[in-house]
Amino acid sequence: MTLMEMFLLSLSLSADSFVVSMSGSVTLGRVGPGRTFSTGALFGAVQALCLFVGWVSGYSVVSYIAAAAPYIALVILSYIGISMFVSGVRGREDSVNLCGMKSLVLAAVATSVDAIAVGVSLAMAEMIPGDAITVTMMTFAVTVAASSAGILIGSASGLKFGNIARMAGGLVLVFIGLRPFIL
């Protein structure tokens, strides 16, 4: 696998993290660099860990992960998204957001479940350990950058559009969870 292919794989794995970070951060208000980076780092670490665990696991779990991943993501993202939407309708500031550790970890896991299946497929394609480590580190870096950018964009739109941004963000999260079933 070339470095460009690894980068493109990392970019595709980070897409959901970007969108979820953007949607979930509409409730955060102004976000400082420390919070932005630490949240992005959590998303990146979970994504990279799932990819590497999938690669290490190899053949034994591919059918289970591939079959269950859409359902796991649907449940988690729907929970977060519906909570955000309801909070926006009610005009409350205490909606599910990426500030709470529970919501943050759930969002990071929901966007990373598919990385396990990707890792398994890389093992099945007989990716060598050096390449597996390189793509894992690259996935971490790209996901940190994508999630951090999503947080900055989402928090800015939340400041400008308030409850409307919160409701839209919630619907986007539910759509991401439903996407494998409707597309």
2 occurs within a structural domain? no
Distances (CA, A) of 158 to 48, 98, 109, 126, 161: 28, 13, 23, 45, 5
Is the Cα dihedral 25, 96, 138, 67 positive or negative? negative
**To the nearest 10°, the Cα dihedral for 81, 117, 71, 25?**
0
134 occurs within a structural domain? yes
Exposure class string for 32-41: b at 16+ Cβ within 10 A, else e: eeebbeebbe
75 occurs within a structural domain? yes
Q: Residue 139 belongs to what domain range?
A: 14-24+32-182
Q: Is the pTM of this model over 0.95?
A: no
4 occurs within a structural domain? no
Q: What tens digit of pLDDT does each residue of 41-98 get?
A: 999 999 999 999 989 987 566 566 667 777 776 777 677 677 767 766 776 554 445 6
Q: Which residue has the higher pLDDT, 182 or 94?
A: 182
Q: How many domains does the chain have?
A: 1
9 occurs within a structural domain? no
Is the Cα dihedral 162, 165, 170, 173 positive or negative? negative
Weakest-pLDDT range from 109-118, 120-129, 148-157, 166-175: 166-175
Residue 143: band (very low, low, confident or very high) from pLDDT cuts 50, 70, 90? very high
8 occurs within a structural domain? no
3 occurs within a structural domain? no
Over residues 25-51, the mean pLDDT reads 89
